[in-house]
Structure 1
Amino acid sequence: MIKKLWGNILQASRVLYFRVQSDLCFLRASSLSFQSVLSIVPVLAVMFGIAKGFGVEGNLENILRSEFKDQQEVITYFIQFGHTLLVETQGGIIAGIGSIVLLFTVMKLLSNIEDSLNTMWGIKYGRPLSRKASDYLALILVCPILLVVSSSITVFVTSNLQRLSAAEAVGGQVGPLIALGIPLIAYLVSMALFTLVYIVMPYTKVKIGSALLAGFFAGFAYQVLQATYISTQLKISNAGAIYGSFAALPLFLMWLYLSWLIFLVGAEIVVIHQEQLWDPELVALSRNLSPCEVQLASLACVKAAVDAFSRSEPLYIKNLALLLKMPERICIELAQDLFQANLLLRTSIQEGEETAIIPAKSPENFRVLDVLVALEGKNNLTSDAIKQFEQLMQHIKEYLSSHELNTLLKDLVPNAANTSNK
């Protein structure tokens, strides 16, 4: 049992290394760092605007100063810029345009984060624009309040622990435990934040257990980075005020880059754990499917939908995953392509958050070639060299359409492992 566990951990570590390389996590961390630098002032302006509406503007400023207590000059400039930008975007037509640009900058950063996570999950289609507007605005409204509340709880618990530790009667007995508990609170807050983002941001269903595991590692790595950053900054500042001032910006950019890298590696851990990519068979499926595999799997999906419809039973993605022996993520991707090709439809029938799937037309009209032709899409290329092959392929399709092997999907023998909802 232990040997198998270590084998799975080793295999998962190998997969993590290759996925970090193939998903360009280092490059994405650089891109998100640059976008973050551009968005710092607009983000602060939006946060202060929301916090002001709830009457906690002063609390938010105190939290920011305490979080960046070793970078007081930098955070003071950022806070001043944020307040100035907020004042300039109040009232008037020009200010209205400024407010739109302000929100667009913040939402663009969130969109880039979602795109990075969707790429790791292999999701082709992100949130629709309407969903982005509603979901991102909700995050923009809720996050500053959550930050104030969580930080206030942390400060309250920490101050009480310090007061308890200072008491002579108990200081010697529980002092070491309290000294350990105070940084543990900061770690738990970081872990909760990472876990929340891993669940909310990708446009797919993420299991809480997988997100918690990644949040555990990402939160720990972030706290280590934070302690290292503060220690390094203090040593450089003690070496000389002028040298310390010059080193502040490069150190801050390095901290920002490594923070995003930790976040992205944590996102890869979520994917690996949820998709069980330590299994060699599933590792092979973590890549993009070949055109041949897409065709065969799509035929199996439509066949499953036809059979379920004939039995008057709902079909869900989880049923397709069991039938095809594939991760649910890939089945979702296949289903999205079939929706785009008008081969399958979503219904109003739901089981939890999943929506049932049905054929887009009567099973009496679904033949094998219909699925393959619909998945091909349209040809928009007009050169003579291409058109001759287009005509040839059209003749082949016409010949195959009347062939006896172009059978109705409903007449094929149902798979024994089909889509029962037991």
Structure 2
Amino acid sequence: MNSSLVQSIASIEPFGTVILMMTKLMPFFMIILTFTMFYILMPNTRVNFKSALVGGVVGGSAWQASSILFTAFVVNSSKYDAIYSGFAVGILLLIWLYVNWLILLLGSSIAFYHQHESHITKEQELDPSPEVSEKVGLDIMVNIARRFESTESPVLQVDIEHLHTIPAVASRKIIDKLIAGGLLIVAGEKADMLVPGHSTDQISVAQILRALRGHESMWKYKHIKLSPEVSDIADKLHQDINKSFDNVLLRDLIKAKQINS
């Protein structure tokens, strides 16, 4: 700013006003750029530049604004005659650091929800019904297996979450059950792809249904006492599922879908 070239340009309007505005806005631009790169590089997943930029604009602007306010307070606090005013500045410094970390996390949340709009839901706990879990889970396995058997690249988990009309949060829970059952595994350099856990001719529909019906807390009720009538019906239900779908393989569903298409 003290160079003769910049001063000569600043003396000419409207360049002088533009240079003055740029000097005031440059800290915001630098912080926004830093936040944007932080949101792109730090998460262990692929982040769109547009989503990272939205989070960077919100987080960076709030960060710089809070810094200006804190600096103004520190400058004005030197005018106070109180003996212990320095302690107040130290406490406010800790509060400022805490608020700035909240701003950093707020920007990352905004970037996430901008990229995954389907994750925005009013329901805090969103569990799909057993019928929906079975239908969607079977369809997920068929789509992933079909891509796996073809020459195409494995399907992205984000694409699977947006494949159905149910919220992505519910779809993710169904996928987690299939992963826990060993029927799906995460693949790819960025761990963002899904492939079958076994060969498609070694996965039966009965296995998929058992994985979808299971739950991480069901082991607590493994030895639950039931009346003989209910126990017989439950055993018969499991036997019917195994008898009907144990010989129906995932590869059969892929072939049937190819024929229908």
Q: TM-score, normalization: structure 1?
A: 0.48
- Confirm whether residue 303 of structure 1 aligns to residue 142 of structure 2: yes
Residue 197 (structure 1) aligned with residue 59 (structure 2): no
CA shift for structure 1 position 177? 3.1
**Alpha-carbon distance between aligned partners in 1 of 2:94 and 2:186, rounded to the nearest angstrom:** 46
CA distance in 2, matches of 1:274, 1:335: 19
Match for residue 183 of structure 2? 343
Deviation for aligned residue 1:377: 5.5
1:240–1:394: structure 2 CA closer, same or farther, 3 Å change rule?
Answer: farther
2:207 is the counterpart of 1:370? yes
Cα distance in 2, alignment partners of residues 361 and 170 from structure 1:
69
1:320 to 153, 160, 164: 160
1:414 aligns with 2:254: no
- Give CA-to-partner distance per residue, 1:31-51, whole Å, 9 cap, x none: xxxxxxxxxxxxxxxxxxxxx
Contact kept? 1:165, 1:178, Cα under 8 Å: no
Does structure 2 retain, via aligned residues, the 8 Å contact 1:165–1:175? Answer: no
Contact kept, 8 Å, 2:144 with 2:196, in 1: the verdict is yes
User: Is contact 1:364-1:410 (8 Å) kept?
Assistant: yes
SS in 2 for 1:239: coil
Distance 1:238 1:166, change over 3 A: farther
Q: How does 1:156-195 map to 2 (within 5 A)?
A: 161-163=1-3, 167=7, 169-173=8-12, 174-195=15-36
Secondary structure of residue in 1 paired with 2:198: coil
Q: Secondary structure at the match of 2:117?
A: coil
**1:344-384 deviation digits (Å, cap 9, x = unpaired):** 2456xx6x957654323343443333113234257543785
Aligned to 2:59: 218
CA positional deviation for 1:316: 0.8
**How many Å apart are 1:258 and its aligned residue?**
1.9
Q: CA offset at residue 231 of structure 1?
A: 0.8
Q: By how many angstroms is 1:239 displaced?
A: 2.1
Write the distance in 2 (CA, Å) between the matches of 1:166 and 1:323: 56
Give the aligned length.
Answer: 248
Would you say the 8 A contact 2:147–2:155 is kept in 1? no
Q: CA deviation at 1:302?
A: 1.0
Q: Which runs of 5+ in 2 are unaligned?
A: none
Correspondences of 1:270-281 after superposition (within 5 Å) = 270-276=111-117
The answer to whether the aligner puts 1:360 opposite 2:203 as a matched pair is: no
Q: How far has the Cα of 1:268 moved from its partner? A: 2.0
Q: Alpha carbons of 1:166 and 1:357: their partners in 2 closer, same or farther (altered >3 Å)?
A: closer
**Of 316-325 and 374-383, the range deviating more from structure 2:** 374-383
Change (3 A) 1:357 1:225: closer
Q: CA–CA distance in 1 between the matches of 2:65 and 2:126?
A: 38
| 1:334 Cα deviation after fit | 5.0
Aligned to 2:242: 401
Question: Aligned partners of 1:377 and 1:356: how far apart in 2?
Answer: 23
- Does the Cα contact within 8 Å between 1:162 and 1:178 map onto a contact in 2? no
**Superposition deviation, residue 396 in structure 1:** 3.0
For residue 248 of structure 1, report the CA deviation from its aligned partner. 0.5
Following the alignment from structure 1 to structure 2, what is the Cα–Cα distance between the partners of residues 356 and 382? 34
Structure having the higher Rg: 2
Cα gap change, 1:337 to 1:186, in 2 (>3 Å):
farther
Q: What does residue range 96-115 of structure 1 map to in structure 2 within 5 Å? A: none
The 2-side partners of 1:165 and 1:223 are apart by 29
**Counterparts in 2 of 1:362 and 1:322: CA distance versus 1, 3 Å:** same
Gaps of 5+ in 1: 1-160
Deviation at 1:400, TM superposition (A): 2.1
Give the aligned partner of residue 290 of structure 1.
127
The secondary structure found in structure 1 opposite 2:206 is: helix
CA distance in 2, matches of 1:337, 1:382: 18
- Cα distance in 1 for partners of 2:246, 2:211 equals 18
Q: Deviations over 1:227-265 (max 9, x none)?
A: 111111222221226243132022212212221222122
In structure 2, C-alpha distance between the alignment counterparts of 1:371 and 1:232, rounded to whole Å: 62
Q: Cα 1:240–1:290, aligned 2, differ >3 Å: closer, same or farther?
A: same
Cα root mean square deviation, aligned = 3.9
- Residues 167-223 of structure 1, C-alpha deviation per residue, up to 9 Å, x if partnerless? 4x4454344433322233322221122112222333322111100111112111111
> Do the aligned residues in 1 keep the contact of 2:154 with 2:195 (CA within 8 Å)?
yes
